[in-house]
Chains A and B, each alone.
Chain A
Amino acid sequence: MRSRTTFASSLSRIMDDLSSKNSIKYIVYSSSIIFFLSLIFLPPIIGILENISSIDVIFQDPLLLSRANAAILQSFIMAFAVALLDLIAALPLAWLIARSRTRFVHFIDTLVDIPFLIPTAALGYSALLFWSPLTQPGFLLVFLLQFAFSYPVIVRVMVGELLNYKEVYEVAARTLGANPFTAVRTITLPLLKPGVIASFLLALARSLSETGATVRVAGLWENGPVFIFRVLDAVDIPPYLKNGVLVYVSSILMLTSVILFFLISLLAPKLRFPVKFVFPGIERRLSSPSAVKFRDILASLIFLFIVIFPSLFIVLPVMNALFDGTLNIALTGLDPWDKYWRTMLNSYSISLLATLLNIGFGLPAAVLIARRKLGKATPVFKALVSVPIIIPSITLGYSLRLFWGRYGFLHEYWILLFSHMAITYTYFVESMAAAIESIPIEIEEVASTLGAKPLIIFRRITLPLTKYSAFSGAILVFTRALGETGAAKAVARTQECWTLPILLVNWILSEATTASQKALGAGLYIAFSFVSLLALRLLTRRTK
């Protein structure tokens, strides 16, 4: 025992000593950059560029071409509609949560994350069951669904912004004679603009990217990801045409999304809120207690009926499946449940590996960004890191399949792993970089003058202070990897390598699967993700 501790301590001392060597620092940082470029950033770009010449064939099939163009256009129409309306609907609720202390609001606050935690493939099925008496699959249903799962993102971001916001400005405006509504419109909202823009972009990206749920509720309507999903499965399109049209749609979606995001993030901050005009009469009425009460009730109702109930509706058929014997068959692993459990194992092992690798190689990258170690190239690196979550994940998956497909010896499992790493890398690096950035640099500087070597500073100062963000970043990576449908669908060719979301979407779309099987499949999926998240949370609490 004693010898082991001395071994461990001498090993850590050697590591500490090594960390102050410039060559070691150089190796660590450059390997994290090489990891990013060679496994995350460049493969999809090269994959698409190498096949760009295959686009030609699509012009031989004008029908397919116009269908593809329509799908691309619909992607952006839907994304803007969802992001905009979500923003309008979610702001009042964020307000309520940040400013009110009642028990009901506390309850709402805990409910908000639910649609975020439910894997979208299962969420889509739940929403379909909820809305099916009222509306058919199509544009409206897709809108309702995407509205539900982007909503929590906006609420979370805006609640965070509101809690950080110094209310003194609003108070000052009020004492100067502004109505509450005027104060919020002219003072608070303009100051929170970065948060508003960030949450709008997140909702936009989520809508552009989502595949697993959308494909189920789309009906005859198509956007980019749904189109790609269907073309991948289509049997009536010859392979050369398939390849051409997929490259065509993927490249346009990727390029347009990237351009759009950089344009919005560059131009939106220049957009001014209309703060110069004040309408005392209307705004006083809007600030009255009854108007506020009406707003709060309306926000809560929208939240409950459009977001929460459709998300949780799956509970009913799941309960049914628990008692009609489906559960017993599922647990024994008889056909088709043997496949179900195997894909679940696939999903968990891929998500876990992707999380660990992203932490290992993402940490140095986060330090590079937060401490601007690349000098003037830092903003460029930061922008490159944000690209993978901007582009629709199914297009990312497809281009990765083109790139890695050349390496025949590479087992499909690894390509799946790489694609899951690529779609989640940004989440960890960005949340970690933000956390490190929030530690005053003086703290690290002082530690170094007190004799601490770089690794000691990282271990004893930086990491303990950013632990919460590190864990939440890791959890985000894990849940996103677990719930990803689009990229997995584009990569997996053989059933052996299916992940759970692909299997589930297949089941839900298939006539051969019974309603009970569909419900239980989705229910178990949700239950397992909840349990694993809970386990992770408990684990993080214990290590505090």
Chain B
Amino acid sequence: MPSIKLVNVTKSYGNVTAIKNLSLNVDDGEYVCVLGPTGSGKTTLLKLIAGIIKPDKGEIYIDNKLVNNVSPQERNVAYVPQYYALFPHLRVIDNVAFGPLSRGVRREDAYEISMKTLEMMRLSWRADSFPHELSGGMQQRLALARGLASGAKILLLDEPLGALDARLRVELRFKLKDMAERNKLTVIHVTHDQEEAMSLADKLVILRNGEIIQEGSPSHIYNEPASIFVAHFVGGANFFEGFVAEKDEYGSWIQLRNGPLLRVNDATRPVGEKVVVMVREEKTEILKMVKRVEGINLLTGRIEDIRFLGNFISYSILLDNGDKIVSRTPTIASIGRFKIGERVYVRLNAEDLKIFSYPSHGLYKELEVI
């Protein structure tokens, strides 16, 4: 039942436009992750939906009802801010009962609902504690319990896992999703952690400078990034500057700095256009130089650095044309095979290479994650 729709919403603070002409559809029961760097307008977006701030322009609909002038207490949307904002002077159970009591539920019923919610969150044994006595993970569950008990079917989560340590963060991710599904909630989850967003979202929304620059399923966004920024922000990628040297029916040849040519399966760009070629770090193959290898999309270089990342090993290679490339390979496949300083081949597949127009303000600026 609860769906959210934003139409051409704009919100400014003084000279700073936090949200620019933004439109978004969230279906009933959908788990949407909004991913964006710091200052991209993520929190403002949530506060607009919760009704804490009002848009300067545009409409916000909840359940197909225009809510621009509906106060937060009447929207039935539970907002969980980054550090939870638990009421420090109320016990755990009173925190949870606050919502139902405020909505005029009878006292006994309010506490019954709250106890049930706490049980679901495995917190009922701490009902009489105060928030500051709980661990980070428990506080996070309490914040969720408080939102759920208020009867809201829409949950707005602002970096809900941001305050937790790395291990707990990964563990709680899936519990969060599970809980949302079981309670048939519509969730908007804001984060700057791309791994978290990818693993949770039914739909991923990439926000930058107050605008949505791409939305879709996580795999679609990963495989078909709409821009250099998205490719860079979602998953590791390598970028090379070059220009279209030749093209035919099936694809084109891109000439990189100092000569090497790369074949790409994209024939949409005119010959001579300046472009950026992108390849994911794991879509690269390193070959030893024991025998001569021939073929297209074969670059040569020297290994500059090797980083062990657990399941993966990351190799930094300085190519002979002066570009750098990072290659990520499963540890099991390459451990001990290469040494720093070793000369190697790097093979790329034409179907893994994407090309983008060269950004007007330069590649370096485009890659800045701010």
Contact = CB atoms under 8 A, between A and B. Distances in A.
Contact of A465 (B50, B88, B151): B88
A461 B83 CA distance: 17
A440 B73 contact: no
Contact of A449 (B50, B100, B104): B50
Contacts of A450: 73, 78, 98-99, 102, 146-147, 150, 152
Contacts of B88: 465
Nearest to B105: A451
Interface string B92-134: 0000001110111000000000000000000000000000000
A448 B80 contact: no
Contact of A447 (B76, B80, B98, B151): B98
Given A13-B104, A443-B87, A445-B47, A452 B73 contact: yes
Contacts of B80: 446
B51 interface: yes
Contacts of B89: 464-465
A453 interface: yes
Interface string B28-55: 0000000000000000000100111000
Contacts of A328: none
Contacts of B50: 445, 449
Nearest to B80: A446
A442 interface: yes
Interface of B: 47, 50-52, 71-81, 83, 85, 87-89, 98-100, 102-104, 146-147, 150-152
Contacts of A284: none
Contacts, number: 71
A450 B146 CA distance: 8
Contact of B75 (A449, A452, A465): A449
B72 A445 contact: yes
A447 B71 CA distance: 12
B72 A449 contact: yes
A447 B90 CA distance: 12
27 contacts: A13-B104, A20-B71, A442-B83, A445-B79, A446-B81, A446-B85, A447-B102, A448-B52, A448-B71, A448-B72, A448-B73, A449-B72, A449-B73, A449-B79, A450-B73, A450-B99, A450-B146, A450-B147, A450-B150, A451-B74, A451-B76, A451-B100, A452-B102, A453-B73, A461-B87, A464-B89, A465-B88
Nearest to A461: B87
Contact of B87 (A445, A447, A453): A447
Interface in A456-487: 456, 460-461, 464-465
Given A13-B104, A456-B102, A460-B98, A449 B78 contact: yes
A442 B99 contact: no
B85 A453 contact: no
Interface string A109-141: 000000000000000000000000000000000
A215 B51 CA distance: 58
A448 B152 CA distance: 13
Nearest to B102: A452
B132 to A, nearest CB: 13
A443 B85 contact: yes
Contacts of A440: 83, 85
Contacts of A446: 79-81, 85, 146
A440 B88 CA distance: 11
B111 to A, nearest CB: 15
Contacts of B147: 450
Contacts of B146: 446, 450
A451 B79 contact: no
A452 B81 contact: no
A493 B241 CA distance: 90
A456 B51 CA distance: 18
Contact of B81 (A13, A20, A442, A451): A442
Interface of A is mostly: helix
B74 to A, nearest CB: 8
Contact of B52 (A445, A451, A464): A445
Contacts of A449: 50-52, 72-73, 75, 77-79, 150, 152
A443 B88 CA distance: 9
Contact of A445 (B76, B81, B151): B81
Nearest to A20: B71
A452 B98 contact: yes
Given A445-B47, A450-B73, 14 more contacts: A20-B71, A440-B83, A443-B87, A445-B50, A448-B51, A449-B51, A449-B75, A450-B78, A450-B102, A451-B74, A451-B99, A452-B98, A453-B73, A465-B89
Contacts of A13: 104
A456 to B, nearest CB: 5
A52 B89 CA distance: 53
Nearest to A452: B102
Contacts of B98: 447, 450, 452, 460
A442 B150 contact: no
Contacts of A445: 47, 50, 52, 72, 79, 81, 85
A87 B66 CA distance: 59
Of A20, A442, A447, most B-chain CB atoms within 10 Å:
A442
Nearest to A467: B89
A375 to B, nearest CB: 11
Contacts of A451: 73-74, 76, 99-100, 102-103, 150-151
Interface in A427-458: 440, 442-443, 445-453, 456
Contacts of A442: 81, 83, 85
A24 to B, nearest CB: 13
Nearest to B98: A450
Q: Among the interface residues B89, B99, B102, B150, which one has the most CB atoms of the partner chain A within 10 A?
A: B102
A452 B94 CA distance: 14
B102 A453 contact: yes
A460 B85 CA distance: 14
Contacts of B87: 443, 447, 461
Contacts of A447: 87, 98, 102
A274 to B, nearest CB: 37
Contacts of A460: 98
A440 B188 CA distance: 23
Contacts of A443: 85, 87
Residue of B98, B104, B146 ringed by the most chain A CB atoms within 10 A: B98
Nearest to B103: A451
Nearest to A453: B73
A118 B79 CA distance: 50
Nearest to B79: A449
A341 to B, nearest CB: 42
A55 B295 CA distance: 102
B14 to A, nearest CB: 10
Nearest to B158: A442
Nearest to B49: A449
Nearest to A13: B104
A445 B152 CA distance: 15
A443 B146 CA distance: 13
Contacts of A20: 71, 73
Contacts of A461: 87
